[in-house]
Amino acid sequence: MPVTSSQTGCTLIQPNISITSTPVIDASIGTMYVEAKSNEGGVYVHRLHAIDIATGLEKSPGPSPVVITATV
């Protein structure tokens, strides 16, 4: 599900928050990488997507999208 600006209190990006990073293209393999945020049952999840720039589809075979996690 999309993350809405009202869920996060963010007034700079409206109405939905998803891709907020700068996409990166690796032209040598025809892939664009983007990070997207989603709301899954009240938990915010960040995923790194590898998109084929010729088709606009997730690259396969391969692990795309990949959940991004962090620990402190």
Strands 43-52 and 31-40: antiparallel
Which of the pair, 2 or 51, is modelled with greater confidence? 51
Which of the pair, 44 or 2, is modelled with greater confidence? 44
Which of the pair, 21 or 68, is modelled with greater confidence? 68
Q: What's the Cα-to-Cα distance from 68 to each of 14, 17, 20, 38, rounded to whole Å?
A: 23, 17, 14, 12
What number is the average pLDDT over the span 49-71? Answer: 89
In the prediction, which pLDDT does 12 show?
A: 67
4-49 pLDDT tens trace: 777 776 766 667 667 778 999 999 999 999 998 888 888 888 889 9
